[in-house]
Structures are given as C-alpha cells and as structure tokens.
C-alpha cells in the first residue's frame, strides 16, 4: 500500500491531508473546551448546534463553492480554503460570545466543504492507475482513523503544558502547512467542459449526475447504513460505557478506539480484496453487517446482557464494515463521471452522504435520551435495513462500465457518433457510459429509450461528415 507514496505529487497531497486532519482534530478538542468556557453547563447544546451547522454547510455549501470555483485552478481553490480555515482557527480564541462561535464554525466548515471534494476529485487524475488509486483511498481512510486516535493524544500533551487556546495555534499551523504542500506540486489541469443552463444548472450538475446513475444511488443508500451505525457510536458510546456499563471516562476513548481499529483493519485489507471482488460485492455485505450489528446491539441492550468485551467487539465489527463502505467510495464516483465533471460529482457525494447525518445524529441522541439506548439502536437498525433492501433493488447486479445506448438528438455527422450504427429511432453504439451533456438518462437493459431524450439537440459541427 505504501508504494503509492513514491509518487511525489500524491505524497505531498497525502501529507497535506494528514496534517490538515490533525489540525482539525485539535480544533475539535479546543472547541469543546471553548464552548464550556462560554456556556458552562450549556456547552453540549452549543456543540450540538455547531455540529448541525457543520452538516448544513457540508450539505449546501460544497456544490455551490465547487460550481463558483470551476473557473479557478484546483490548486488555487485548495490553497485559498486552507488559508480561510487557518484564519478562522486564529480568530476562534478571540471570541467572547456563543454566536461568534457559530459564525466562525460556518466559515470553517464551508471552507472544508469546498476543499475536501476538490481534493478527492484530484486524486484519480494524479493516480490514473486503478490499483494506485485504490491504495490511495485506503491510505486516506487510514489517515482519518489514525487522526481520531492521534489528535486527542496530541491535544492531551499540549494541554499538559499550556492552555487549550494553544490548540487553535496548532490548528492554524496545520492548515498553513497543508497550503504549502499543495502549492509545492503541479496538479493536472481539467479539460474544459460544455456548460448548459446557466449557473443554477452548473451548481446542481453534480446532484443530477449522481442521482441519475444507478450505482451512485446504491452508494448513497450504503451511506445511510453508515450514518446509522456511526451515529450510534459517536452519540451514544459515552451513554453505553458510563451509563449502561458503569465504567469510567477513559473507557469511552478505548471504545471509540476499537471502532477506529476496525475501520483501519478494513482499509488495510481492501486493496487486495477489491482485486477479486467488485465494489458492490464488498459494500452490500458490509451494509448487511452494519444492519446485523445494530440488531445484535438492540437485543443485547433489551436483554440487559451487553458486556464490556461484547461492546468492544461489536464496535470493532461496525468500524470494519463502515470502512469497507467508505474506502471504495471514490472508485465508484470516479468511474461514474467524466474527468471534467468529477469535482461536481465528488461535491454531490460529499453533500448527499453527509445529509444522512442530519437524520441519524438527532435520531440517535433524542431516542436514547427520551426512550432508551435500545430504542435508538432499534430505530437505527431499521434505517440500515431499509438502506440495505433499497440498495439491493436500485444497484444493478450486472453493473458494467460499457453500455449500449441510443442517441436521437445528435446529427449524423456528430463526432460522438463515430462508429455508431443506424437504429430504428436514431444511432446506437457502446462505450464507457457516464451521465454528461450528451447522455442525460441511464439506458435501461433492452430498452430503446434514448439516452439523451428530452435534452437539447446538438447540431452537426461545421465541416464534419
């Protein structure tokens, strides 16, 4: 897996990602302490609101920022977003009111919502070989999991020597270092893409591409299963460890570490597994494991038989299944979009997948508080089950890249029809199929429906055929 780090451009981008993640982890710890300083016993409400703002920024800001930035280079965009995040980190220690925290969190997470999809869309261009790209995705997953273990330990070390406001300084340094690393490499330029329909069409292009592609609709449902399991772990681990099992606060970190270790194990195994299995053959069983794990947790809580060892094992299994879904996600998005459309597709993936957490987080927290942790686990298990069943239906078993399809809106001499043959309603040919300006509908097997039905006709270029 580490062999991909021999590629200089990717090595610098991976280092930028890892350092920025560490800075974000430090900011998470510091933000909790800052909220307690400002709000005291209401710190939980402040952090809950900040988390909701984060998810709303991810859901709404990413596609808008990506659309507005299409005229700028990807390197310029990422450096600008790192600079914005560094500026917010510098400003956070100076706030004196809770509303100021909300404003700065909105700016910080909006910058992240623009940076992360752009970074993700750049990797397949930097690493065009599928094997290298798969290794890079596994390394990225490992970086996220290691950050969840390393950042709290680093924060504890800093807090032993200085006040928590110094953590924001570490965050600033992390984002600035990330910007320097991005500046140090030349990134492949995107080919110009045909834009139709104005700014609104450009902004929503990624969503339309995503929702028109069957495998991506299946992927979105897999992310619902991930959100259900992750919400149970993130929101209710402290409730289960301290409230149900009666253990100390240090064991909360151990339980969360078990979840992270499971995810890391999946990331290490997946590059080899994906050489023998398709993404669908990996993700759907992983969603089944998430569903079963939440069901087992529901039964253990209802029967009062949940133990410490059982919780750790269950969290490790949920972490592994979550990693098995999250790690190959980039492969599916890359395979489903033309290179020029990848930033929009990754922005849609980022927004839509995080949108599930706006449902899962409140569901996990409210039901556990108002009813019981067993009720919360049962509701989230039902969500994961619905996602799995719907995923089996909408994600075709035979999911091939090359698809035969019919064009009815193109002139006979259009360059795209080179090698096509005449059909009853137009022209038919086969190639790697993605949704774009020329292919607005996914072709159904055996259907004569046009892939560009309802779209604007394209006139034959002057001088062609």
Instruction: Please indicate, yes or no, if residue 311 is contained in any of the structural domains.
Output: yes
389 shares a domain with 411: no
Could you tell me the pTM of the whole model?
0.79
* Range(s) of the domain holding residue 405: 400-465
Is residue 387 a contact partner of residue 217, using CB atoms and an 8 Å limit? no
Could you read off the pLDDT of 284-307 as tens digits, one per residue?
A: 999 999 999 999 999 999 998 999
Instruction: Please indicate, yes or no, if residue 287 is contained in any of the structural domains.
Output: yes
2 shares a domain with 37: yes
d(CA 239, CA 236): 5
| Burial label, 400 (beta-carbon count in 10 A; 0-12, 13-18, 19+) | exposed
Instruction: Please indicate, yes or no, if residue 133 is contained in any of the structural domains.
Output: no
Is residue 310 a contact partner of residue 300, using CB atoms and an 8 Å limit? yes
Chosen domain end from 343, 365, 397: 397
433 shares a domain with 295: no
Task: Write down the pLDDT at residue 463.
Answer: 32
Task: Write down the pLDDT at residue 181.
Answer: 93
206 shares a domain with 170: no
445 shares a domain with 389: no
Instruction: Please indicate, yes or no, if residue 34 is contained in any of the structural domains.
Output: yes
d(CA 270, CA 82): 30
Pairing assessment for the beta strands 421-422 and 427-432 based on DSSP bridges? antiparallel
Residue found under tokens 């599916």:
332
Chosen domain end from 377, 397, 417: 397
434 shares a domain with 341: no
Q: Write out residues in the chain with pLDDT < 50, as ranges.
A: 459-465
Task: Write down the pLDDT at residue 461.
Answer: 40
CATH of the domain at 79: 1.20.1250
420 shares a domain with 312: no
43 shares a domain with 174: yes
Q: Which two tokens stand for residue 35?
A: 């909220």
3-state class of 428 per DSSP? Answer: strand
d(CA 32, CA 53): 15
92 shares a domain with 50: yes
1 shares a domain with 38: yes
Q: What are phi and psi of 307, to 5 degrees?
A: -115, 170
Chosen domain end from 373, 397, 421: 397
Instruction: Please indicate, yes or no, if residue 277 is contained in any of the structural domains.
Output: yes
CATH of the domain at 342: 1.20.1250.20
As for how many domains the chain has, the answer is 3
Task: Write down the pLDDT at residue 42.
Answer: 67
Instruction: Please indicate, yes or no, if residue 316 is contained in any of the structural domains.
Output: yes
d(CA 271, CA 53): 35
6 shares a domain with 108: yes
Percent of the chain whose predicted confidence (pLDDT) is above 90: 25
Instruction: Please indicate, yes or no, if residue 143 is contained in any of the structural domains.
Output: no
204 shares a domain with 167: no
Instruction: Please indicate, yes or no, if residue 139 is contained in any of the structural domains.
Output: no
């Amino acid at each position: 897996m580490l062999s991909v780090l021999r590629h200089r451009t990717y090595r610098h981008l991976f280092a930028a990602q890892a350092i920025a993640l560490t800075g974000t982890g430090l900011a998470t710890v510091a933000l909790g302490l800052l909220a307690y300083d400002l709000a005291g016993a209401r710190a939980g409400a402040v952090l809950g609101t900040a988390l909701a703002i984060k998810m709303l920024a991810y859901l709404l800001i990413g596609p808008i920022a990506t659309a507005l930035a299409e005229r700028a280079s990807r390197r310029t965009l990422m450096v600008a977003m790192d600079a914005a995040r560094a500026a917010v980190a510098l400003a956070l220690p100076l706030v004196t009111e809770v509303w100021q925290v909300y404003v700065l969190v909105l700016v910080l997470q909006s910058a992240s919502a623009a940076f992360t999809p752009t970074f993700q869309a750049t990797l397949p261009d930097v690493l065009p070989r599928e094997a290298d790209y798969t290794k890079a995705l596994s390394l990225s997953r490992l970086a996220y999991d290691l950050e969840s273990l390393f950042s709290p330990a680093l924060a504890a070390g800093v807090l032993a020597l200085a006040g928590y406001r110094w953590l924001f300084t570490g965050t600033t340094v992390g984002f600035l270092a990330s910007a320097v690393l991005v500046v140090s490499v030349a990134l492949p330029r995107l080919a110009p893409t045909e834009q139709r329909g104005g700014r609104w069409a450009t902004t929503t292009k990624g969503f339309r591409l995503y929702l028109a592609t069957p495998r991506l609709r299946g992927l979105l449902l897999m992310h619902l299963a991930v959100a259900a399991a992750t919400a149970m772990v993130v929101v209710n681990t402290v409730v289960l460890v301290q409230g149900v099992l009666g253990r100390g606060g240090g064991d909360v970190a151990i339980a969360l570490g078990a979840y992270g270790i499971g995810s890391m194990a999946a990331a290490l195994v997946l590059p080899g597994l994906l050489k023998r299995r398709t993404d669908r053959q990996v993700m759907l069983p992983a969603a089944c494991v998430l569903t079963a794990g939440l069901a087992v947790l529901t039964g253990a809580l209802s029967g009062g038989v949940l133990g410490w060892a059982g919780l750790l094992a269950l969290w490790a299994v949920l972490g592994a299944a979550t990693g098995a879904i999250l790690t190959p996600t980039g492969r599916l998005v890359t395979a489903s979009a033309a290179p020029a459309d990848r930033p929009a597709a990754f922005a849609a993936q980022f927004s839509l997948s995080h949108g599930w957490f706006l449902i899962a987080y409140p569901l996990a927290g409210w039901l556990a508080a108002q009813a019981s942790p067993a009720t919360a686990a049962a509701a989230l298990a039902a969500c994961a089950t619905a996602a799995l069943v719907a995923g089996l239906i909408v994600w075709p078993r035979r999911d091939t890249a090359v698809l035969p399809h019919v064009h009815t809106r193109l002139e006979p001499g259009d360059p795209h029809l080179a090698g096509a043959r005449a059909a009853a309603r137009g022209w038919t040919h086969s190639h790697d199929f993605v949704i774009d300006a020329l292919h607005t509908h996914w072709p159904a097997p055996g259907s004569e429906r046009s892939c560009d039905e309802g779209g604007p006709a394209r006139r034959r270029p002057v001088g062609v055929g």
